[in-house]
Structure formats: C-alpha cells, structure tokens
Amino acid sequence: MILEGLVTTLSADQQVHIAPMGPRVDAAMQRLVLRPFPTSQTYQNLKVHCEGVFHVTDDVLLLAQATVGTVDLLPAMAAAKHIKGYVLTDTCRYYEFRVANIDASQERVRIEADVVHSGGLRDFFGFNRAKHAVVEAAILASRIHILPAAEIAAEFRKLGVLVDKTGGPQEHEAFAFLLRYVERSGAKEPLA
C-alpha cells in the first residue's frame, strides 16, 4: 500500500528538508520503500545521511507547500529520539527510519528503509472530501511540466467544487495556494 505523507531529512550541512512522499508500507509499518527521483533533495540527503522521519499528517496546507517546494517558514520540530533528524510536532504519527538499501539503477530511486522508532503526537482528524481534493491538486501541481494544461485545468475545476462544498479554512487556503502556484507556472486555461 502507498501512504501519502511528509518526509524530513538532513542535508550534508544539517539543514532540514521537508518533502511529500508516498512510500510503500507494510501493514505493520516496519518497512518503508521510498521512490524519489534521483534529482530530488530527499535522495541527495539520504545518500549523505541515511536517516529520516516519515510523517502521517492531515495538514494539507503544509503538504501542498512541500509538494511545490515552497515551505518558506519551517514548522515546529523536535529532535528525533533514535536517529539524527527531526519530527514535525504538529503531525499525527511519525516513523523514524534508517536506510537499509539504495538502488539507483532505475528512473526512480528505490530506497528500502527500516522503521527504528514510531510515535503518535495527536489524533488524526481525518480526510474529508476537501482534504482529499487538496492532496490530488497538490499531485497535479507537481506534474505541471508533464501533463497537458487542459487536463490540469479540468481537474482543478472538479476539485475546486469539492473544496467549496466540504472544506474548512485550511483546505480553502491550501487550494488557493495551489491555484496561484499553477497559474504563476503558466496555466493557459482558467483553473477556477
């Protein structure tokens, strides 16, 4: 199963990087298989420092910002307990991991990691239809360089209806953020 969330890693100069990631996970959450692109900061960081933290969160605004690479102000974090890394303090669950194997022979790097510690910080609020719509919009925004503009615009219009009907302030802010990002990136069709 693929589980969407956020990964924190450390660069060679100890800077925290936050990235969206959908690793394959086992039912016991003991092993993660991450598949970053070879050009990604997450991959570069894990090559240098083979530890990180995977976060399960319902914070769709942070997820949207991380997806398009614009987390300008890092959220609150605390030192991880069993690895050298950081845990987002407003996350629901977190999984500290250590890389067991890296296979960079394919288009997407395959990183197998063992969970060495996990914890929960708050209850998972859950995903209503608006939160799901923001996650899908974030994925679309990350693919503006490979998908046709008309397809992205049509999908954004459909997802916007769900956010309007079922979203709260965070979902509306996250969706508006993604709309602005896609429009600044040169969308040729109206998105809303």
Q: Is the pLDDT of residue 125 over 80?
A: no
| CATH code 2.30.110.10 region(s) in the chain | 5-120
Distance from C-alpha of 87 to C-alpha of 133, rounded to nearest angstrom = 26
Instruction: Quote the CA–CA distance of 11 and 84 in Å, as a whole number.
Output: 11
CATH 1.20.58.290 in the chain, residue ranges: 129-184
For 24-81, how does the pLDDT look when each residue is reduced to its tens digit (9 = 90+)?
999 999 999 999 999 999 999 999 999 999 999 999 999 999 999 878 889 999 999 9
Q: Which residues pair with 101 in a beta bridge?
A: 112
Picking from 60, 56, 55, 57, the residue whose alpha carbon sits closest to that of residue 130 is 60
The 10 Å Cβ neighbour count of residue 104 is 11
CA distance 134 to 118: 26
For residue 190, name the pLDDT band (cuts at 50, 70, 90). Answer: very low
* pLDDT for 187: 56
Q: What is the CATH number of domain 5-120?
A: 2.30.110.10
Residue 108 to residues 25, 52, 120, Cα–Cα distance (Å): 17, 18, 30
Give the distance between the most distant pair of CA atoms in the chain: 48
Element spanning 120, H or E: strand 110-120
Across the strands, what pairs with 79? 86
Burial class (CB in 10 A: 0-12, 13-18, 19+), 132: middle
How sure is the predictor about 149, in pLDDT bands with cuts at 50, 70 and 90? confident
Give the Cα separation of 108 and 105 in Å (integer): 8
List the CATH code of the domain at 129-184.
Answer: 1.20.58.290
